[in-house]
Amino acid sequence: MSNSMTNNRSSISPAPVKIQELAKHYGAIKANDNVNLDIEGGEFMTLLGPSGSGKTTTLKMVAGFVEPTSGSVMIDNKVVTEPPHKRDIGMVFQNYALFPHMTAAQNVAFPLRMRSVPTQERDERVKNALAMVDLADRMDQLPRQLSGGQQQRVALARALVFEPRVVLMDEPLGALDKKLRENLQLQIRAIQQDLDITMIYVTHDQEEALVMSDRIAVFNNGKIVQVGTGEALYERPETRFVADFIGESNIFGGRLDADGSHLKSGDLSLAVPATMIASSTPAALVVRPERMRLNRLGTDLQGSNSLEAKVKDIIYLGSERKYELEHANGTVLIARHQVGRSNITPEIGENILVSWKIEHGVVVTDEG
């Protein structure tokens, strides 16, 4: 019997989650297809993707709200098939789903009551959970009397109070303003590390994913397209979609030549670093804006690609300047530089030479 009451999970080793071949089809529509993901115990895994990419469906299948068409979810090395109320998974919903007829404390006490935790212990744990999210003084208030950020923290306390094996969060900060969101991102991350729990977090906000996660799984069209740390995804994207979705990029679509040393993009031929991608598949060269260097015309640039371009616009962003550049064939490029750190400071309308080192380019597949 998997009785959630006798929850003797060892607090030393949080539960790993293994998602295998998970699929959810609604008729001909494939909300999820062939999703595989290994999440280590205590890891903060973010499912990132545009809306409709299948990340929330995956989350709901882990929670047990949606029955998979095929595939399985393993928690703590055991396949879970139990109904949601027996899974022992904490979940924070997009709109918090705080019960409107219960106070903050009653909301947090709810999972403990469901597990028949004795009154005294229950009160104690509720108090601790609310103190952890700095809401000890709001215990007796109803959800509607709390601000958005406070409601969010009550929902967090409620999802954590019963020491679940895994915590799931579905765009939990979507409804809050930027400042509050950044604050809570750090708070949630700190609590997750403190309590050493496995966290699966869904968001469409790439900055949020980068700030919070140990690793990120990028979703597109119901599938995971790449999994890795934020840095790996940013520096070494594998597909054009990932390069485009995470951070800003200059992307040249085209095909590699036979020896794989150059990429032909329109009338351009650009030197690329060594790659495994075959010359038969569509490919793209990705260069991050901060890797772009600006030089005077006529500068000799060994080991770099260089293009002549005209400065179309300069946007001052506080610590940075962003340059919009246009090559003669109409290609628009973007370069970013720390103020005071670039080698030249051109004016709008000036013709310059934009360049990047070959090894700073990344060749990715171009799915379409």
Partner 1 sequence: MASITDSADEQNRPSLQGKFNRWTWLLLPALLFLAIFFIYPLFEILQRSVTEPTLGISNFVEFFQSPVFSAVLFNTLKMSFYVMFFCLLIGYPYAYLMNHSSRRVAGLLLIAVLIPFWSSILVRTYAWTVLLQRTGVVNSMLIGIGIIEKPLKLLRNFPGIVIGMTHILLPFMVLPIYSVMQRIDKDFVTAAESLGARPFRAFREIYLPLSLPGVYAGSLLVFVVALGYYITPALLGSPRETMMGAMVVQQVQQVLDWGMGSALGVVLLITTLVILGVVGRIVNINEVLGGSGGPE
How big is the chain by its Cα radius of gyration, in Å?
Answer: 25
Residues 6+ apart with CB under 8 A from 161: 108, 109, 111, 112, 125, 126, 129
Q: Rounded to whole angstroms, what are the CA distances from 8 to 26, 192, 241?
A: 37, 19, 43
Nearest CB to partner 1, comparing residues 85 and 341? 85
CA distance 82 to 62: 11
CB-wise, 114 or 339, nearer to partner 1?
114
State in angstroms the smallest separation of the CB of 156 from partner 1.
Answer: 13
Q: Where are the alpha helices (DSSP H) in the chain?
A: 55-63, 104-114, 119-132, 148-160, 178-195, 206-212, 230-235, 240-245
* Alpha carbon distance 195, 186 (integer Å): 14
Closest separation in Å from C-beta 117 to partner 1: 10
Comparing CB distances to partner 1, the nearer of 117 and 284 is 117
In sequence order, what are the residues at sequence separation of 6 or more whose Cβ sits closer than 8 angstroms to the Cβ of residue 314? 321, 322, 323, 324, 347, 348
* Residue 93 beta carbon to partner 1: minimum distance, rounded to whole angstroms: 5
Q: What is the closest distance, in whole angstroms, from the C-beta atom of residue 91 to partner 1 in the complex?
A: 4
Binding site for partner 1 (CB under 8 A): 4, 63-65, 83-91, 93-95, 97, 99-101, 110-111, 114-115, 158-159, 162
Q: At closest approach, how far in Å is the CB of 316 from partner 1?
A: 28
CB of 35 to partner 1, least distance (A): 20
Nearer to partner 1, 110 or 127 (CB): 110
Measured from the CB atom, the residue of 162 and 234 that comes closer to partner 1 is 162
The CB-side HSE value for 170 (13 A sphere, CA atoms) comes to 20
Q: Say which residue the tokens 């027996």 belong to.
A: 86
Q: How far is CA 67 from CA 37, 81, 155, 209, in A?
A: 18, 9, 24, 27
Output the smallest distance, CB 37 to partner 1, in A: 20
Cβ closer to partner 1: 107 or 192?
107
Please state the closest distance from residue 200 (CB atom) to partner 1, in A.
Answer: 13
> How far apart are CB 92 and partner 1 at their closest, in Å?
9
CA dihedral 154, 158, 163, 165 (to 10 degrees): -110
Closer residue to partner 1 (CB): 13 or 65: 65
Whichever of 86 and 327 has its CB closer to partner 1, that residue is: 86
Q: Which distant-in-sequence residues (6+ apart) come within 8 Å of 142 by Cβ?
A: 100, 101, 102, 103, 104
- State the minimum distance, in angstroms, from the CB of residue 33 to partner 1: 24
By CB atoms closer than 10 A (0-12, 13-18, 19+), residue 72 is: middle
Shorter beta-carbon distance to partner 1: residue 97 or 251:
97
Q: What's the rounded Cα separation, in Å, for the pair 157 and 104?
A: 9
Distance of CA 26 to CAs 37, 246, 282, Å?
Answer: 22, 29, 31
Q: Of 109 and 135, which has the nearer Cβ to partner 1?
A: 109
Place of tokens 């750090």: 186
Separation in Å, CA 4 to CA 98, 115, 165, 173, 258: 22, 7, 10, 28, 60
